[in-house]
A = this chain, B = another copy of it.
Amino acid sequence: MGTQLDPEYVRTLRSDFAVAHKLLSDRCLYESAKWSAEALNGLPEDEVDDPEILIPDELKQLDQMSSSERRQYMLAKACFDCREYDRAARILEHCTSSKCCFLKWYARYISGEKKREEDSEVILGPLDGDATINKQVILIIDEIEEHFRTVAAAVYDPFLLYLYGVALIKHKCDKLAFEPLTRAVNIYPFNWAAWQELGRCVQNVDQLPFVLSQIPPTHVMSKMFEVSTSQELFQSTESVFATLAQLENIFPSFLYLKIQRAMLCYHALEYDDSAKLFDHVVREDPHRLDDMDMYSNVLYVTE
């Protein structure tokens, strides 16, 4: 089943996702790095050995920094890995390279999220949920804007654009976030986290055609976005299933896609198909928890 794939295309994707895993891990975007690694492992098997991971020049320039800044980056990254976010941010305080700036602001964002969680009451109190704010967000927005004023728009760092979008959404400025997020995915389409944030900007199905007109046409990541966003908007249409089938042809073992299909079946009230797909995922990767909360709903209705 499935149309014949060009082995060269598969090899290019293999390299793209391996590079993404590296770039995202370097920036402590762990969830997005995990998604890339899962996509990589979802591609068809290949007899040919993978080439060494070579980062293309235009992405390599995002890693440019002085030797002393590189040493500070290494310490800050290690602190972040040890969950010492404030310490990581302070180590990078005076750094100017965009990679260090990203990690500095991202560490402060995570630290702000942790403090917000601590400050918010358990449930249903006056400080529950959205009432408690991440106090770092407004400062991060200001500093990223200041940073962007110092560089030419042509050399915008897609990871900084992504983080700017995250902060704007957190600050309830979803409309303002749309522009930096679309720019981020156009410059570098392989950061899944940026697509997920872009998905948050799509409130209803009427907005989808405009959003799709703003992203790289025909790119495999655009198709992933189309399927995932349509699924979240309960669009179990033939066209969505067709795009999903194309992707499943490229990534025959990518469990994320299996789950998208399971959810689309669920929305289409095809509960037995949905349960079978979820069951397959559980057998393949029993400790995979992402998106599995829906499985209990499916089991409930099929009982």
This protein's copies in its complex: 2
A74 proximal to B (CB < 8 A): yes
What mask results when residues 18 to 37 of chain A are scored 1 for a CB within 8 Å of chain B, else 0?
Answer: 10010001000011011011
Check if A34 sits within 8 Å of B81, measured CB to CB. Answer: yes
Residues 90-141 of A at the B interface (beta carbon under 8 Å): 90-91
CA distance A11 to B165 in the complex (A): 41
A contact patch SS = helix
A220 proximal to B (CB < 8 A): no
A45 proximal to B (CB < 8 A): yes
**Interfacial residues, chain A to chain B (CB-CB below 8 A):** 18, 21, 25, 30-31, 33-34, 36-38, 40-41, 45-46, 49-50, 66-68, 70-72, 74-75, 77-79, 81-82, 84, 86-87, 90-91, 285-289
CA distance A31 to B70 in the complex (A): 19
Q: Which residues of B contact A287 (CB under 8 A)?
A: 84, 86-87, 90
* A71-B40 CB under 8 A given contacts A81-B25, A81-B81: yes
* A21-B74 CB under 8 A given contacts A81-B34, A289-B84: yes
Q: Which residues of B contact A71 (CB under 8 A)?
A: 18, 37, 40-41, 50
Q: Which residues of B contact A68 (CB under 8 A)?
A: 45
A-B contact pairs, 27 of them (CB 8 A): A18-B71, A18-B74, A21-B78, A25-B78, A25-B81, A30-B78, A30-B81, A30-B82, A33-B78, A34-B78, A36-B78, A37-B71, A37-B75, A37-B77, A38-B75, A40-B75, A41-B74, A45-B68, A46-B67, A50-B67, A50-B71, A84-B289, A87-B285, A87-B287, A87-B288, A90-B286, A91-B285
Check if B72 sits within 8 Å of A41, measured CB to CB. Answer: yes
CA distance A82 to B37 in the complex (A): 13
